[in-house]
């Protein structure tokens, strides 16, 4: 399977200038290609092929005085910028014709030098290499110092140099990583994601919600206020903008580190992991939007998914409409919806006292086990038995 390995770069002032030049050239080629196709569409001309576009905005453009400086950077960087534009067009056309699943993809847009993220990509044709001294050698840029935190499992097929909003540089290697199956275990777990607790496991464990953004709000607010008081276009405003970006980067890094450690622990301890397929985009439109975005559920599920594939585990997603909070995990009686303020309840049929989140996690585990058996040809599980009307604990239509 293909994985990305990210490492921090520490370029010298001269290398930063060379990288800035490469970022700018890649951005210009991308914008020139987009502009050329837009002008052809406006004039009613046929769609320009990828090969013809490359000749116009790279090969022929280098011969003109206005774009002669494109020859000062690696040609692979320019070709890859144009490849990104072609991919964006293909995704756009596939989306509007219905061939691409998921949300509608917008048409390509022009890039700006003020974008928060700048990136260039080198493939094997560029002959980049990691030197014996542990530096990353890039054509027409030089040997960059890399902070290695682990070994690459194989020779990288490409490397992307990224500059983020905080002014940090990263090298992102694409490598072919072999699968590393862990020893099999009989343990299985269901996970109920929430806001009061970030995750509640079916074995009763509760993972506290770290709330990284909420904890950093005061520092972020002060940095943003200082930025708002600086004169636009001044050097002090640029410094204040960098401080705001660094504060946000610390929050994002802490959240990512937490998700990596939690997902690795869950995958190592369990042979099968069951999670609920939450509609995060819909929840982000409610009054809880800030807390939902701060939690980062999607990042955790994505990490669980690729780590399960790599380490020989099973990840099963339960449908978002499964009534996990309404069913008694002991007897299977459907007791109806309950408002969020109800954190514990007693089953009217069997008398079992349930913690709302732990009960939901156990129902997620049971539903995941049933789907796992069904995929192997076992009998489909029967539906839940609804409780009698007079036994329901809440009014109809309650959340």
Positions annotated as catalytic residues are: 192, 276, 357
- CA distances to 22, 337, 362, 392, 393 from 396, rounded to whole Å, are 62, 8, 24, 9, 9
Computed from CA positions of residues 87, 90, 96, 100, in that sequence, does the dihedral angle turn out positive or negative?
A: negative
Task: Please choose, from the candidates 313, 312, 307, 305, the residue with its C-alpha nearest in 3D space to the C-alpha of residue 181.
Answer: 312
Q: Find the angle CA(369)-CA(373)-CA(376) to the nearest 5 degrees.
A: 150
């Amino acid at each position: 399977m293909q994985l990305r390995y990210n490492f921090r770069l520490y370029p010298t002032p001269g290398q930063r200038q060379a990288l800035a030049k490469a970022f700018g050239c890649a951005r210009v080629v991308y914008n020139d290609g987009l502009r050329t196709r837009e002008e052809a569409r406006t004039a009613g001309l046929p769609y320009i092929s990828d090969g013809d576009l490359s000749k116009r905005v790279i090969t022929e453009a280098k011969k003109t005085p206005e774009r002669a400086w494109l020859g000062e950077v690696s040609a692979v960087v320019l070709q890859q910028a144009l490849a990104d534009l072609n991919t964006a067009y293909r995704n756009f056309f596939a989306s509007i014709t219905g061939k691409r699943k998921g949300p509608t993809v917008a048409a390509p847009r022009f890039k700006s030098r003020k974008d928060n993220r700048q990136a260039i990509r080198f493939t094997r044709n560029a002959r980049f290499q990691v030197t014996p001294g542990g530096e990353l050698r890039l054509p027409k840029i030089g040997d960059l110092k890399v902070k290695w935190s682990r070994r690459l499992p194989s020779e990288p097929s490409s490397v992307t140099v990224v500059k983020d909003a905080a002014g940090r540089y990263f090298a992102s290697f694409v490598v072919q990583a072999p699968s590393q199956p862990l020893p099999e275990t009989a343990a299985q777990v269901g996970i109920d994601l929430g806001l009061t607790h970030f995750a509640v496991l079916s074995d009763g464990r509760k993972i506290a919600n770290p709330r990284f953004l909420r904890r950093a709000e005061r520092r972020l607010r002060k940095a943003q206020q200082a930025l708002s008081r600086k004169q636009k276009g001044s050097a002090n405003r640029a410094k204040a903008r960098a401080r705001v970006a660094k504060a946000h980067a610390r929050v994002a890094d802490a959240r990512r580190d937490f998700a990596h450690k939690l997902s690795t622990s869950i995958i190592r301890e369990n042979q099968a992991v069951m999670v609920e397929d939450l509609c995060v985009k819909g929840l982000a439109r409610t009054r809880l939007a800030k807390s939902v975005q701060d939690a980062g559920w999607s990042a955790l599920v994505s990490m669980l998914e690729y780590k399960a594939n790599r380490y020989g585990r099973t990840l099963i997603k339960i449908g978002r409409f499964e009534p996990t909070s309404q069913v008694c995990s002991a007897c299977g009686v459907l007791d109806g919806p309950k408002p969020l303020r109800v954190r514990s309840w007693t089953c009217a049929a069997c008398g079992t006292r349930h913690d709302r989140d732990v009960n939901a996690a156990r129902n997620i585990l049971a539903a995941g086990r049933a789907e796992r058996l069904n995929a192997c040809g076992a009998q489909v599980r029967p539906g839940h038995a609804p409780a009698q009307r007079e036994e329901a604990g809440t009014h109809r239509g309650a959340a």
